[in-house]
């Protein structure tokens, strides 16, 4: 039979698994009587663990408490938390680096030697690129997340790179982290259309507005909608090309956010993309490395493609023969 301390740890581990347990089931799992289980439950409560009694089932559940009690993690969970904290330390959320590293230090201090070795091996063999995107205030993230969850209208000041600073009223839908930037997807009530806002450019006003009924988001889910918005619709120079290869083959050559790909038939597809300049569009189109036809774009793009083709032909022409 387990001693009291070991039995309490095993009981806690069972309760932390997230399932409801009857007293009889716990007694069988621990090899003790139902009366001993009740005493152990009382001990856990005295230690600060909010063990709830289930009505009508003579069972128990571990609830959420006011304070954060110690957790029991298995080997895979401990390694996953350590890797997650290390990754989080390089994120673009302001001030979270120190918090994540402090939590990681606490976890590594109590890891068994075999797990500490695995975590240290992973850390020594990997490199992390520092966040290059603008830092965002975690308090602002929480304010926006709470408004999304409660479906409360937001009022905020926004510094748009195109129209300048101004006030916006919007119905928030989702927060999305994409390529070191945080975005708020919301329905702008003043413009009666969906908009994407950079979180580092907005400052919420208080209090928030009234609650609203959610609207259907274009393209179905936040990640797909944001990819469509960032890949071409927000750029000043936009183009559509027909690529004479299957969409599946082309998709492997596109980087995230490069463009919107749409299959036409088993042999051809459309690629919609955008850039800040026409030369950048030429580079993006030709970098796909596929035969294409320009379907739509500004007149300057046609001239730029001709110029690029001439430049490439001139680069491989044989020099004139001399006698």
pLDDT above 80: residue 186: yes
Asked if 11 and 45 sit in the same domain, the reply is yes
Per the CB < 8 A criterion, the answer to whether 52 and 62 are in contact is yes
Q: Which is more confidently placed, 210 or 96? A: 210
Q: Worst-scoring range by mean pLDDT, 29-38, 103-112, 183-192?
A: 103-112
Task: Report CA-CA distances (Å) from 294 to 216, 266, 301, 310, 315.
Answer: 33, 19, 9, 17, 23
Q: Which 8-state DSSP code applies to residue 169?
A: E
Query: Domain boundary at 165, 195, 223, which?
Result: 223
Query: Domain boundary at 16, 36, 62, which?
Result: 62
Q: What is the pLDDT of residues 61-95, one digit of tens each?
A: 888 765 556 667 777 888 888 878 777 766 667 76
Has residue 131 been placed in a domain?
no
Q: How far is CA 131 from the centre of its chain?
A: 14
Per the CB < 8 A criterion, the answer to whether 153 and 193 are in contact is no
Asked if 145 and 219 sit in the same domain, the reply is yes
| Domain region containing 215 | 138-223
Give the pLDDT of residue 75: 79
Has residue 132 been placed in a domain?
no
Give the pLDDT of residue 295: 95
Query: Domain boundary at 223, 254, 277, which?
Result: 223
Q: What is the pLDDT of residues 250-284, one digit of tens each?
A: 988 887 778 888 899 999 999 999 888 999 999 99
What torsion, rounded to 10 degrees, do the Cα atoms 18, 20, 25, 28 define? 20
pTM: 0.58
Has residue 69 been placed in a domain?
no
Has residue 323 been placed in a domain?
no
Per-residue burial over 40-66, b = 16 or more CB atoms within 10 Å of its CB, e = otherwise: bbeebeeeebebeeeeeeebbebeeee
Per the CB < 8 A criterion, the answer to whether 242 and 293 are in contact is yes
DSSP 105-138: HHHHHHS-HHHHHHHHHHHHT---PPP-SPPB-H
Q: In this structure, what CATH number is given to the domain that contains residue 266?
A: 3.30.70
Per the CB < 8 A criterion, the answer to whether 230 and 175 are in contact is no
Give the pLDDT of residue 71: 66
Asked if 272 and 298 sit in the same domain, the reply is yes
Asked if 113 and 145 sit in the same domain, the reply is no
Asked if 256 and 276 sit in the same domain, the reply is yes
Asked if 200 and 266 sit in the same domain, the reply is no
Per the CB < 8 A criterion, the answer to whether 128 and 122 are in contact is no
The stretch 139-143 carries a mean pLDDT of 91
Has residue 320 been placed in a domain?
no
Give the pLDDT of residue 114: 82
Asked if 263 and 300 sit in the same domain, the reply is yes
Two tokens, residue 98: 């120190």
Instruction: Name the pLDDT band for 52 (thresholds 50, 70, 90).
Output: confident
The stretch 33-41 carries a mean pLDDT of 89
Q: What is the pLDDT of residues 147-158, one digit of tens each?
A: 999 999 999 999
Asked if 79 and 56 sit in the same domain, the reply is no
Give the pLDDT of residue 17: 73
Asked if 113 and 143 sit in the same domain, the reply is no
Has residue 243 been placed in a domain?
yes
Q: How many domains does the chain have?
A: 4
Has residue 230 been placed in a domain?
no
Burial of 306 (C-beta count, 10 Å sphere; 0-12/13-18/19+): exposed
Has residue 180 been placed in a domain?
yes
Give the pLDDT of residue 244: 96
Asked if 244 and 214 sit in the same domain, the reply is no
Give the pLDDT of residue 301: 95
Asked if 112 and 172 sit in the same domain, the reply is no
């Amino acid at each position: 039979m387990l001693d009291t301390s070991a039995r309490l740890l095993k009981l806690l581990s069972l309760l932390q698994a997230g399932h409801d347990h009857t007293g009889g089931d716990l007694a069988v799992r621990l090899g003790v009587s139902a009366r001993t289980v009740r005493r152990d439950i009382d001990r856990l409560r005295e230690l600060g663990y909010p063990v709830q009694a289930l009505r009508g089932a003579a069972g128990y559940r571990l609830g959420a408490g006011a304070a954060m009690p110690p957790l029991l993690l298995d080997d895979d969970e401990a390694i996953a938390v350590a890797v997650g904290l290390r990754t989080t330390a390089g994120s673009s959320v302001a001030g979270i680096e120190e918090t994540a590293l402090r939590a990681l230090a606490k976890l590594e201090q109590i890891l068994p030697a075999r797990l500490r070795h695995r975590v240290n091996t992973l850390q020594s063999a990997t490199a992390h690129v520092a966040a290059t995107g603008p830092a965002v205030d975690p308090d602002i993230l929480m304010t926006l997340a709470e408004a999304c969850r409660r479906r409360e209208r937001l009022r905020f000041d926004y510094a748009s790179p195109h129209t300048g600073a101004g006030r916006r009223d919007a119905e928030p839908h989702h927060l999305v982290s994409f390529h070191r930037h945080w975005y708020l997807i919301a329905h702008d009530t003043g413009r009666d259309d969906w908009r994407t806002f950079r979180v580092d450019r907005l400052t919420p006003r208080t209090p928030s507005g009234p609650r609203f009924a959610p609207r259907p988001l274009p393209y179905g889910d936040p990640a797909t909608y944001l990819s469509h918005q960032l890949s071409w619709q927000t750029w000043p120079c936009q183009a559509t090309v027909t690529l004479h290869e299957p969409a599946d083959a082309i998709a492997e050559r596109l980087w995230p956010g490069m463009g919107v790909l749409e299959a036409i038939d088993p042999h051809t597809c459309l690629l919609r993309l955008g850039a800040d300049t026409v030369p950048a569009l030429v580079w993006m189109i030709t970098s796909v490395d596929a035969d294409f036809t320009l379907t739509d774009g500004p007149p300057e793009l046609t001239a730029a493609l001709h110029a690029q083709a001439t430049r490439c032909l001139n680069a491989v022409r044989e020099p004139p023969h001399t006698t």
